Amino acid sequence: MSANKPLLVDSDILIDVLRKHAPARDYLRSIQNPLLISAMTSVELWAGAKGRQQEEILEELLAGFDLVEVTIAVARRASEISCQFSKSHGTGAVDAVIAASTEMEGATLVTLNKKHYPMLAKGKVLVPYKK
């Protein structure tokens, strides 16, 4: 993987980091690429934070990522993805926004849920470890 190519990290990887799952932590420590997260991933993670201590840990973790906002262009592309893949693959709004963000940033999506992202081109989804 090119060291300059951005990686958009899905919430499942970050949840594993927060749960101190060694493969997730080791993977993130090993990469040199620019790290991105979708605004939707941020929402999911903040919604799951319980109490000030977890919020502080999450704040520290997210400081290492650039946030991809939901712009009009991302929203429109996410709408197209959702329309095309919602019935056949059960793609919801969150996954559609994450996929659109990945495309718009020219990034590779890092996730454990490759099957959720059939709309991304071959080589644009990376599963860094197995559970």
Q: What is the pLDDT of residue 1?
A: 58
Q: How far apart are CA 25 and CA 104, in angstroms?
A: 26
Q: How far apart are CA 115 and CA 57, in angstroms?
A: 29
Going by pLDDT thresholds of 50, 70 and 90, the confidence category of residue 90 is confident
116: exposed, middle or buried (Cβ count in 10 Å: 0-12, 13-18, 19+): buried
- pLDDT tens by residue, 16-41: 999 999 999 999 999 999 999 999 99
Q: What is the pLDDT of residue 2?
A: 61
Q: How far apart are CA 108 and CA 1, in angstroms?
A: 10
Domains of the chain in start order, with CATH, are 7-126 (3.40.50.1010)
Residue appearing with tokens 């749960």: 19
Q: Sheet holding 35-38: strands in order across? A: 66-68, 35-38, 7-9, 108-110, 125-126
* Closest C-alpha to 10, from 33, 34, 44: 44
Mean pLDDT of 60-81: 96
Question: pLDDT exceeding 70 applies to what percent of the chain?
Answer: 98
